[in-house]
Amino acid sequence: MNVPYADTDFLMALIKPSDWLKQDAEQFLRKYNGSLWTSPVAIIESLLVIRKFGMDAKEVVVSLYELVDVPLMNRETALAAASFIQDEGMNVFDAFHAAFAMNDFIISSDDVFEKAGLRRIALK
């Protein structure tokens, strides 16, 4: 049996307070609840999208992981990225680099990682 993959517009319709797709998304959620999955791409895209809606990055990550399985990225990594976004002011991509690198060194020219407490090998 094929398992439905959840795209970002479906996920956003579910977690935004209002959305033109919300009613349809909720119907599909009832039908497929417990068997939906998505990829890290949808998590990253969601964190990019929420900025224009002023939503809390950490709350969004928690909501997404309650709705769908994300087999290629654990919840802790996504929550760490959300924290870097909210608490350190990192952009979404740097936040995910930081979350994945976490306890290792990161090679970068960007000092944003050091400011957030990560160990950086300066690339110039």
Closest by Cα among 109, 94, 99 to 79: 99
The pLDDT, as a whole number, for residue 124 is 82
Cβ 61 vs Cβ 78: under 8 Å: yes
CA dihedral angle for residue 105, residue 108, residue 114, residue 118, rounded to 10 degrees: -30
Cβ 95 vs Cβ 81: under 8 Å: yes
The pLDDT, as a whole number, for residue 1 is 59
The pLDDT, as a whole number, for residue 98 is 97
Structure tokens that stand for 26 in this block: 């909720």
| 5: β partners | 37
pTM: 0.92
Query: What single string gives the DSSP state of each residue in 22-65?
Result: HHHHHHHHHHHTTS-B--HHHHHHHHHHGGGGT--HHHHHHHHH
pLDDT tens digits in sequence order for the chain, 124 residues long: 589 999 999 999 999 999 999 999 999 999 999 999 999 999 999 999 998 999 999 999 999 999 999 999 999 999 999 999 999 999 999 999 999 999 999 999 999 999 999 999 999 8
* Element at 108 (helix H, strand E): strand 105-108
